[in-house]
Chain A
Amino acid sequence: MYTQKVMEAFQNPKNVGEISDYDGMGMIGSEACGDIMQVFIKVKDGVITDAKFKTFGCAAAIATSSTATEMIKGMTVEQALEVTNKKVVEVLGGLPPQKIHCSVLAEQAIKAAIDDYLSKKKA
Chain B
Amino acid sequence: MEGIYFDHAATTPVDARVLEKMLPYFTENFGNANSQHGYGRRAVTAVDAARDTIARQIHAKPSEIYFTSGGTESDNWAIRGAAHALRGKGRHLVVSAIEHPAMLATAKELAKEGFDVTFAPVDEYGTVDLEKLKASVREDTIFIGVMTANNEVGTIQPIAELSAFARSRGIVFFTDAVQAAGSLAINVNDPAVDMLAISSHKFYGPKGVGVLYIRSGLKMGKLITGGHQERSMRGGTTNVAGVVGMAEALKLAQQDMRERAEYVSGLRDRFIRRVLHEIPYVRLNGHPSNRLPGNANFSFRYIEGESLLFSLDLAGIAVSSGSACSSGSLEPSHVLLAMGLKEGEAHGSIRFSFGKDNTVEQVDFAVDRLKEIVVKLRALSPLFPKDCKNEVMEKE
Chain A interface residues (CB < 8 Å from chain B):
2, 7, 10-11, 13, 16, 27, 31-38, 54-62, 96, 98-99, 101
B382 to A59, Cβ gap below 8 A?
A: no
A36 to B382, Cβ gap below 8 A?
A: yes
User: Does residue B325 face the partner (Cβ distance < 8 Å to A)?
Assistant: yes
Known: A36-B382, A38-B382, A54-B381. A31 touches B343 (CB 8 A): yes
By a CB distance below 8 angstroms, the chain A residues around B307 are 10, 57-59, 61-62
User: Does residue B126 face the partner (Cβ distance < 8 Å to A)?
Assistant: no
A34 to B304, Cβ gap below 8 A?
A: yes
A37's nearest neighbour on chain B, judged by CB, is B382
Known: A31-B347, A34-B330, A98-B328. A7 touches B314 (CB 8 A): yes
Which residue, B307, B330, B343, B344, has most C-beta atoms of chain A within 10 A?
Answer: B307
By a CB distance below 8 angstroms, the chain B residues around A99 are 325
Which listed residue, B311, B342, B343, B383, touches A56 by the CB 8 Å rule?
B383
User: Does residue B323 face the partner (Cβ distance < 8 Å to A)?
Assistant: yes
By a CB distance below 8 angstroms, the chain A residues around B381 are 54-56
1/0 contact string of B286-328 vs chain A (CB within 8 Å): 0000000000000000111011001100100000000111001
User: Does residue B360 face the partner (Cβ distance < 8 Å to A)?
Assistant: no
Report the minimum CB–CB distance from B336 to chain A (whole Å).
12
B328 to A58, Cβ gap below 8 A?
A: no
A55's nearest neighbour on chain B, judged by CB, is B380
Which residue, B343, B347, B379, has most C-beta atoms of chain A within 10 A?
Answer: B347
1/0 contact string of B357-386 vs chain A (CB within 8 Å): 000000000000000000000011111000
A56 to B328, Cβ gap below 8 A?
A: no
Question: In whole angstroms, how far apart are the Cα atoms of A37 and B307 in the complex?
Answer: 14
User: Does residue B332 face the partner (Cβ distance < 8 Å to A)?
Assistant: yes
Which listed residue, A10, A16, A31, A35, touches B379 by the CB 8 Å rule?
A16
